Amino acid sequence: MVFASIFFLLFFLPVFLSIYGYVADRFRNLVLLIASLLFYAYGAPLFIWVLAASTFLNFYFVRRMDAELERSRLWFRVSLVLNVGLLIVFKYANFTVESWNAMGLWTTGSWTKIALPIGISFFTFQSLSYTIDVYRREERPLKSPFHYFIYIFSFPQMIAGPIVRFGIVAKELVSREFNRKGIEEGAQRFIIGLAKKVIVANGIAASFPITGVEEWSIADAWLALLAYTFQIYFDFSGYSDMAIGLGRIMGFHFPENFNRPYSAKSFTDFWRRWHMTLSFWMRDYLYIGLGGNRNGVGRTYANLLTVFVISGFWHGASWNFLFWGLYHGLFLIIERLFLSNLLRKLPAFLAKLWTFFWVLIGWGIFALVDDVERGQLFGALINPVISASQDFSVWNEFTSGGPSAVLMALALLLTIFPAYSWWDRLVHSSGPKWWRYVAYSGLLVVSLAELTGSTFNPFIYFRF
Amino acid sequence: MKNWRKIVLGVLINLPWLLWAFGVPDIAKLKGSRGPKVKIHTVVDQFEQEFWGRSMLIRLRNQFLYSVHNEIRARNVIQGPTGVLFEESYFKSTLGWDALDSATVSEKFDRFKNWQQESGVPLTFVVVPGKTSVVAREHWPEKYAHEKPTVQNANYHAFMKLFSSDTTLRFLDYVRRFNENPEAVYTTYPRNSVHWSEATNMVMTQEIVEGIQGIQVHIMDTTVGEPYGTEEDIEESMNLIFDLEDDPSVHFSRRWDSIAVPPKILIIGDSYAWGLLRAGLLNHTAKGSQFWYYNRTIHGPQVQQQGAHLRKYYAWESEEEFITTMSGFDQIIWVVVESNLKKFPFEIEYFKK
């Protein structure tokens, strides 16, 4: 199930919130857990047992790790093997076998493809966060597997993040406030996220396809790449807003995941603003674990590259994700070598433009799994020759000033002036309180209308 | 939060599924073409297609897209610069883009003639102009306004050459009549409709009936009023919230006369043939009179399973059985709009050779 679906918005969520709101405090976690299991089981009923068993085992291993000080390292490794092993088997086994086959290394074996459980990457990182935080003695382990299940499975963040580190919500897992302030703030945040996803991201995706184009024109290629750049941001940040909002309604305080990433002045800055919960997870658990910048310049660069290659690969089992991670890692190294100093001397808007341009190119690597399609796109981006067989349909539609042009303009506007604070200022700064309710209700109705009227509703981050 | 507020909020957010579950009809139900039908496998699919309020949400989106971007959310519907709505296939027909080759036309005509001869039933054939054949080019959308026809109304001309040489059938050619007399009374195609006006339809009905012994229809008096019948059918398919500007519409009263044992009539045709039913023809003919819509579904005042698949309804095993059924009627009326001539004579897939 995804948040931006009619069934979730008009049945699952209202029923859940009604029950959650009416039961006594002590039953709320139970309601949340049942709803979360149903939410997950709706899309992947078989995987729920695998993930539940793994969650239960991890809880047990971490308890042992905490109780047996002399063997804590052993239990820590067992937990790592369990979590990382699960991710490797489900997410990367198919890719590994296909790559071996392609290289002629395993031509005789037969292989049954393994299906990918939804949200396995987020699931694994949250489990690892619990293990590592307890191992480092930064947090005490939970006493009850029930609360651990809530941490892992709670439906607002399970499918597509944000990656909520254990320490951030450890206390709220056991006790949190469910009150009017939280409901209002959460609902508003949720509606903003829904609108970003449904109106902007889906609208752009429908108008500017980046796959299936037979012969790109240079204009269509650049437009499609720009559109994808906006689409992925509004899609993912919209989903994060919805998750944060839902959490807030229930009394959780999930961490922010985006902070105007396309206004970054460098790649280093970009990764402090884009998918922040992943960046910080990688920094705190992997980069620092590898030694960070404590072992000389060469080792620091190697660590950076390792972290970014793994980060890229985390997004999907395909070479393009790995190259995308490598691309970003290399830019970070170049910035450390000399580029940061240059960028700092530039006027802010030029530094932003420079960074945006190269991030945009990076999305070209990220967007297309198929090598041939990717080659065609990049070929078209640098081919100024125009021929009659080339596709100009997107460019023509865009320049006619139709809905797609308005959406791109809206995306640009919301990227420069971040959606939430912009809307927040407009709605909250002045006027009577009812105006706020009217504004948010209106945005919700428009989002629902868009979702209902258009059957096109892909969610990019579902596969990760 | 106070309890009453909790209750109000709880009811409000659950309203769409509660009303759906209790079977409360949706407001502002959708009409007309809504795109490909979505397959429903589970109760979740059903809910997503039928929840209470869905129609209004779709209308809201359609209205926004139409009002702000002039984008029409109905399949193949296009609007001209003066606001006249069209269905795109009619342009293709008028511009001759859907022309059949002469061998296919002859083959189709021979098949039709064979049915006619084998059944031995008197036949009236009515050919109706599409909206684009009648409405002047200044009202056509930019996309087609400057297109030159390959052969204007190619299928119409090819078929008419064959029909006009056949003296065994009664032939009403409204295409020629409208072209020869563009100022004819009641020839208007309402701006928001794909079909001709209800008044034109009544005139056609009256003329068809003139050739059938045993029934008569008289138009009594006329007034001008709001559109009705199919006079806003394209507009309805756009599923907007607000009404579009309309042309004035001619309303009339009519009187049917029929003898004690009126003829048993079979109408075969496309959507224009529905006009004969709306005018009341089958209510004043013998019991058992029927309408075979595209030779696909069966309709009529006495038909038990309205809209049933024709071949299944009669359990025909062969084309001969189909012809035998036709021969049980006293009069057959074919009504075909020129853009549908490419589908004529609506062959039943089962009988195709």
Whole-number pLDDT of residue A437: 84
Amino acid, single-letter form, for residue A237: S
pLDDT digits (tens, 9 = 90+) for B126-165: 999 988 888 888 899 998 988 887 777 788 989 988 888 8
Mean pLDDT, residues A433-449 = 88
Task: Using CB atoms, pick whichever of A10, A22, A179 lies closest to residue B16.
Answer: A10
Q: A216: helix, coil or strand?
A: strand
Mean pLDDT of A205-217: 76
CA separation for the pair A194, A26 (Å, rounded): 30
Pick the more confident residue, A157 or B53.
B53
Render pLDDT for B240-281 as a digit per residue (tens, 0 to 9). 999 998 888 888 888 988 787 888 999 999 989 999 999 888
Binary contact (B61, A453; C-beta < 8 A): yes
Q: What does the domain layout of chain A look like in residue ranges?
A: 6-175, 182-463
Alpha carbon distances (Å) from B323 to A19, B113, B240, B264, B287 = 64, 12, 44, 16, 20
Among the partner-chain residues B14, B47, B58, the one whose CB lies closest to the CB of A7 is B47
- Would you give the end-to-end CA distance of chain A in angstroms? 15
Interface test with A, best of B13, B43, B68, B238 (most A CBs within 10 A): B13
DSSP A217: -
Handedness of CA B127, B130, B135, B136 (dihedral sign): negative
Averaged pLDDT for residues B69-89: 87
Residue A40 pLDDT level (bands cut at 50, 70, 90): confident
CB contact under 8 A, B58 and A453: yes
Residue A457 — very low, low, confident or very high, per pLDDT cuts 50/70/90? very low
- Provide, as residue numbers in chain B, all residues whose Cβ is less than 8 Å from the Cβ of A180: 1
pLDDT at A458: 40
Q: How far apart are CA B49 and CA B224, in angstroms?
A: 39
Kindly report the average pLDDT of chain A as a whole number: 85
Q: B13 to chain A: which residues are within 8 Å by CB?
A: 13-14, 17-18
Given B13, B51, B60, which is nearest A6 (Cβ)? Answer: B51
Q: Quote the percentage of chain B above a pLDDT of 90.
A: 24
A183–B1: do the CB atoms touch at under 8 Å? Answer: yes
Query: Which residues on B lie below 8 Å from A21 (Cβ)?
Result: 6, 10
Tokens representing B244 are: 């579009």
Does the pLDDT value for residue A198 go beyond 60? Answer: yes
Residue of chain B nearest A401, judged by CA positions? B69
Whether residue B69 and residue A453 make contact (CB cut-off 8 A), yes or no, is no
Q: What is the pLDDT of residue A334?
A: 93
What pLDDT is recorded for position B352? 59
A14 prior amide bond cis, ω within 30: no
Put simply, the answer to whether B57 touches A180 (Cβ < 8 Å) is: no
CB A256 within 8 A of CB A244: yes
Return the residue of B nearest to A405 by Cα.
Answer: B69
pLDDT at A77: 92
Residue A69 and residue A290: Cα distance in Å, rounded?
23
Chain A residues with at least one Cβ partner in B under 8 Å:
5-7, 10-11, 13-15, 17-18, 21-22, 179-180, 183, 402-403, 406, 445-446, 448-450, 452-455
* Residue pLDDT, tens place only, A74-93: 999 999 999 888 888 877 77
The helix (H) or strand (E) run that includes residue A180 is helix A180-195
Q: Predicted confidence band at A462 (pLDDT cuts at 50, 70, 90)?
A: very low
Which CA distances in Å does A19 have to A12, A15, B72? 11, 6, 41
pLDDT at A373 over 90: no
What Cα–Cα distance (Å) separates residue A27 from each residue in A31, A150, A171, A249, B38? 6, 13, 17, 16, 39
- Determine whether the interchain pair B17/A15 forms a contact, defined as Cβ–Cβ distance below 8 Å: yes
At residue A417, does pLDDT exceed 90? no
* Residue pair A287/A278 in contact by the 8 Å Cβ criterion: no
Residue B288 contacts residue B264 (beta carbons within 8 Å): yes
Task: Give the Cα separation of A203 and A188 in Å (integer).
Answer: 21
User: pLDDT band at residue B302, thresholds of 50, 70 and 90?
Assistant: confident
Return the pLDDT at A464.
45
Of A7, A18, A453, the CB nearest to B62: A453
Which chain B residues have a beta carbon less than 8 Å from that of A13?
Answer: 13
Q: Is B117 exposed, middle or buried (0-12, 13-18, 19+ CB in 10 A)?
A: exposed
Interface test with B, best of A198, A445, A452, A455 (most B CBs within 10 A): A452
Nearest CA-CA distance, residue A464 and chain B, Å: 25
* Whether B13 and A445 lie within 8 Å, measured CB to CB: no
CB of A464 within 8 A of CB of A315? yes
The ranges assigned to domains in chain B are 3-69, 77-351
CB contacts of B44 in chain A (<8 Å) are 7
**Predicted complex ipTM:** 0.78
Does the beta-carbon distance from A455 to B47 stay under 8 Å? Answer: no
Contacting residues of B for A179, CB less than 8 Å apart = 1
Three-state secondary structure of chain B: CCHHHHHHHHHHHHHHHHHHHCCCCCCCCCCCCCCCCCCCCCHHHHHHHHCCCHHHHHHHHHHHHHHHHCCCCCCCEEECCCCCEEECHHHHHHCCCCCCCHHHHHHHHHHHHHHHHHHCCCEEEEEECCHHHHCCHHHCCHHHHCCCCCCCCHHHHHHHHHHHCCCCCEEEEHHHHHHHCCCCCCCCCCCCCCCCCHHHHHHHHHHHHHCCCCEEEEEEEEEEECCCCCCCHHHHHCCCCCCCCCCCEEEEEEEEEECCCCCCEEEEECHHHHHHHHHCHHHHCCCCCEEEECCCEEECCCCCCCCEEHHHHHCCCCHHHHHHHHCCCCEEEEEEEHHHCCCCCCCCHHHCC
- Give tens-digit pLDDT for A324-347: 999 999 999 999 998 888 888 888
pLDDT score for A111 = 65
* Average pLDDT value for chain B: 86
pLDDT at B34: 47
Looking at CA atoms only, how far is residue A408 from chain B in angstroms?
Answer: 15
In terms of pLDDT, which residue wins out, A108 or A5? A5
On whether the CB atoms of residues A294 and A277 are closer than 8 A, the answer is no
B63 CB neighbours in chain A (<8 A) are none
**Hey, are the CB atoms on B69 and A17 less than 8 Å from each other?**
no
**pLDDT for residue A463 is more than 60:** no
Q: Is A258 helix (H, G, I), strand (E, B) or coil?
A: coil
Q: How many CB atoms lie within 10 A of CB A30?
A: 12
Inter-chain touch A452–B47, beta carbons under 8 Å: no
Instruction: Please say if the pLDDT value at position B219 is more than 80.
Output: yes
What's the Cα-to-Cα distance from A166 to each of A25, A53, A133, A135, B75, rounded to whole Å?
22, 19, 7, 12, 51
Amino acid identity, position A64 = R
* Preferred mutation among B8, B34, B44 to probe A, highest tally of A CBs within 10 A: B44
- Chain B: closest CA distance from residue A319 (Å): 36
| Residues of chain A neighbouring B6 (CB-CB closer than 8 A) | 21-22
C-alpha span between A419 and A196 (Å, rounded): 8
Q: State yes or no: pLDDT of A429 exceeds 70.
A: no
Cβ pair A157, A191 in contact under 8 A:
no
DSSP per position, A85-121:
HHHIIIIIHHHHHHHHHHHTS--S---PPPPPPTTHH
Residue A449: closest C-alpha in chain B = B57
Beta-carbon contacts of B266 under 8 Å, excluding residues fewer than 6 positions away, are: B121, B289, B290, B291, B292, B326, B329, B331, B332, B333
Is the pLDDT at A402 greater than 80? The verdict is no
So what's the pLDDT on residue A431? 65
Q: Which two tokens stand for residue A451?
A: 């979702």
Contact B47 A446 (CB under 8 A): no
Between B74 and B67, the more confident residue is B67
Asked if pLDDT for residue B33 goes beyond 60, the answer is no
Q: Are B191 and B247 spatial neighbours (Cβ–Cβ below 8 Å)? A: yes
Q: How far is CA A368 from CA A13, A228, A318, A320, in A?
A: 34, 11, 10, 7
Query: Minimum mean pLDDT among A112-116, A312-316, A380-384, B163-167: which range?
Result: A112-116
State yes or no: pLDDT of A404 exceeds 50: yes
Q: How confident is the model at residue A460 (pLDDT cuts 50, 70, 90)?
A: very low
Weakest mean pLDDT among A55-69, A149-163, A273-287: A149-163
Active site residues of A: 315
CA distance A190 to chain B (A): 14
Cβ pair B250, B196 in contact under 8 A? no
Most confident listed range (B81-90, B159-168, B344-353): B81-90
